Amino acid sequence: MKSTFEKMGGTYTLGADGIYYPNLVSTDEEPHYGKYGMMRKTYLKEHRPAMYSLYMLEDRLTEHLNAVDDEAQERMDILMRQMMRRQGITGEMKARDQMEWVRAVNGIRNMAEEIVLNELIYR
């Protein structure tokens, strides 16, 4: 009778100790994720261990974290531009009152990040 691993196309190799070991080859892509990918990984480990284990078993964790990080970065850029435009944060404001501009941009970044975390990371 074939194991589930063999039914999925996996093979085994007999080791010197008489135990069969699965032939595992990682097809995972190279990790390039940053802050948001790491946050997603931590969230999955702590709050969604079954989903984390599934991604690990299917060798898709790095792919998932790369995709989440890329999407989160893109969403942050879009939200930041939209919020800055709506609130009238411009280069002229930066030249006029740099401290006020920094305060406004930091506030916008915090709001945008809260949205991204709730939409993409903690779901």
Q: What is the pLDDT of residue 98?
A: 96
**Angle at which helices 98-116 and 61-87 pack, to 10 degrees?**
140
Q: What is the pLDDT of residue 96?
A: 96
Average pLDDT over residues 72-91: 96
How would residue 72 be classed by pLDDT, with cut points 50, 70 and 90?
Answer: very high
Tens digit of each residue's pLDDT (9 = 90 or more) over 9-53: 778 888 889 888 888 765 556 889 999 999 999 999 999 999 999
What would the two tokens of residue 97 be?
């009152």
Tally of residues, the chain:
123
Distance CA 66, CA 28 (A): 11
